[in-house]
Amino acid sequence: MPRLNLYQEEYYPSPIQNTWKEFKENHAALLSLYCVIFFIFLMIFGPFLAPYDPLQQNIDLLLVPPAWDNNGDISYLFGTDGLGRDMLSRIIYGCRMTFGISLVLVIISMLVGVALGAMAGMSKGLRSSVVNHLLDSIMAIPTLLIAIIIIAIVGTGLVNSMWAISLALIPQFIHQTRDIVRQKMKKEYVLAAQLDGAGKIHIFFNSILPNMAEMLVVQVTLALSVAILDISALGFLNLGAQAPSPELGALLSEGLTTAYVAPWNIALPGAAIFFMMMSINLVGDGLRSALRYRLLR
């Protein structure tokens, strides 16, 4: 006899599914998520999408306006710059560089920062408050300042600026991780695991890390937007990526020389940075709100 199922099985969504449901309600955040995915797509497939070589100079076609202008040309959608290089390709490669480099930097800083923070959080009592306060003081200094100082010492260049920014981002991760780990260490399930005989590493990876994951994601989006801003700021100041690299900040700085004849050389790369940052910020905001409200609805 078929059993009548009068009640559907109760369905308890997992925390991640809750967060996602909440996130979806926020239209702006969802849209920005699609934008971020678009940028990631650009990052991976950029070289196939770009119509021209970003370093290819074309003497006959200097400072062509974008396609929507009267003097523009559809084959150069965003126009060309002062050396005849296609702006669309440069911006695509630039997004690729800026976004990709920032992603790599954030991942590196996250790995290092979380490792150090976990170690600091799990070891008990011996850490003197001096080191903690020192760390707090360093955290108060904006990352760009730390990066500029590091560059002042090691010299300019793209690789140096990458080191500088990733070093500057690490303290944030250490601090967050240490605080959270400290908190979680006091929880009962950690105590239970310890009583079971679990070693420190096991506790960290199995008990603490999964509970930290969401905080970490929020932290990563924050760090990502900071990293993008810093990389492009350093590129703009010619302390990071150098010409003729198509990094977005370097594009802006090159566009300065022809700013009055060709304002699109400034407007377009800057707009690209702006959209990148806005989408990441909105995703981060959405995540934070979702995390805060997921259990309230």
Partner 1 sequence: MLVSQQHASCFIPVTVILTVMLTLMGCSPENTHYQQPNGIIYCSEGNPASFNPQLDTSGTTVDVSSHQIYDRLLDFDLITGEIIPGLASSWITSTDGLTYTFQLRKNIVFHSTSYFAPTRTFDADDVIFSFNRWRDKNHPYHEVSGGRYPYINSVGLGDLISDIKRINRYRVEITLVRPESSFLANLATDFSIILSAEYADQLAKADTPELIDTHPIGTGPFKFNSFRQDRYVRFDAHPLYWRERSTTEQLIFDITPSSSLRLAKLMTGECDSMAFPTHSQLDIIRKRKELTLDEKPGLNVGFWAFNTAKAPFDNPEVRRALAMAIDKNALMEAIYFGSAIPATSIIPPSSWAFQPDTRSSTYNPLGAAKLLRENGVEEGFSMTIWAMPVERAYNPNAMKMAELMQRYLRDVGIDANIVSYEWSTFRARLNQGLHDSVLIGWSADNGDPDNFFRPLLTCSAIDSGTNRARWCSKEYDKLIDQALTYTNQEDRAYFYSKAIEMINDEMPLMPIAHAFRYQAYRDNLTGIEINPYGGIQFRNVSKP
Partner 2 sequence: MLKIILRHASLLILTLFVLSFFSFSLAYLFPGDPLVNLTGIRGSSEQEYALLAEQYAMHSSFIVQYWQYVMHLFSGNWGLSFSSGLPLAEEISRSLAASVELSAYALIFSFLIGLPLGFLSGLRHHKFTDFTLLTASVIGYSIPVFWAALIAILIFSIQLGWFPLSGRISLLYDVPFETGFILIDILLSDLPDKEFAFQDALRHLVLPSVSIAIVTCTIVLRITRRSIVEVMSSEYIQAAYARGLSPRQVFLRHGVKNALIPILPLLVMQFTTLLTNAMIVETIFSWPGIGNGLIQAIYQRDFPAIRAGMLAVSALVLTFTITIDMVIQIFDPAGRRPENATS
**Interface residue list for partner 1 (CB under 8 A):** 57, 59-60, 62-63, 82-84, 244, 256-261
Least Å distance between CB 57 and partner 1? 7
| Strand partners for 86 | 80
Region of 178 on the Ramachandran plot (φ > 0 left; ψ -120 to 50 alpha; else beta): alpha
CB of 149 to partner 2, least distance (A): 5
Please, which residue, 180 or 262, has the CB nearer to partner 1?
262
153 makes contact with partner 2 (CB under 8 A)? yes
> Is the Cβ–Cβ distance between 247 and 240 less than 8 Å?
yes
Q: Is 282 in the site for partner 2 (CB under 8 A)?
A: yes
Q: CB of residue 256 vs partner 1: minimum separation in angstroms?
A: 6
288 is a site residue for partner 2 (CB under 8 A):
yes
Which range in 103-111, 120-128, 159-167, 263-271 contacts partner 2 by CB under 8 A? Answer: 263-271
User: What percentage of the chain's residues is helix, strand, coil (to nearest 5)?
Assistant: 70, 0, 30
Q: Pick the piece of the chain touching partner 2 (CB under 8 A) from 42-50, 53-61, 191-199, 265-273.
A: 265-273
- Name which of residues 12 to 31 contact partner 2 (CB under 8 A): 28
Long-range CB contacts for residues 33-36, cutoff 8 Å, separation at least 24: 33/279, 33/283, 33/286, 35/275, 35/279, 36/279, 36/280, 36/283
User: Which residues lie closer than 8 Å to 83 by C-beta, 6 or more apart?
Assistant: 57, 62, 244
Residue for token pair 């995390």: 291
191 binds, among partner 1, partner 2, none (CB under 5 to 8 A by kind): none
Rounded Cα distance between 278 and 245, Å, is: 24
Burial of 177: CB neighbours in 10 Å, binned 0-12, 13-18, 19+: buried
Our finding on whether 37 is near partner 2 (CB under 8 A) is no
Identify the residue whose tokens are 């700021």: 233
Print the binding letters for residues 216-255 with partner 2: x by CB under 8 A, - otherwise.
---------x---x--xx--xxxx---------x--x---
CB of 50 to partner 1, least distance (A): 20
Distance of CA 245 to the CA centre of its chain: 20
Report helix angle 15-25 to 27-49, nearest 10: 90
Dihedral over alpha carbons 162, 168, 170, 175 (to 10 degrees): -170
Residue 224's binding partner out of partner 1, partner 2, none, with CB under 5 to 8 Å set by partner kind: none
From partner 1, partner 2, none, which one binds at residue 57 (CB under 5 to 8 Å depending on kind)?
A: partner 1
Q: What is the contact surface with partner 2 in residues (CB under 8 A)?
A: 28, 130, 133-134, 137, 140-142, 144-145, 148-149, 151-153, 156, 225, 229, 232-233, 236-239, 249, 252, 256, 259-260, 263, 266-267, 270, 273-274, 277-278, 281-282, 285, 288-289
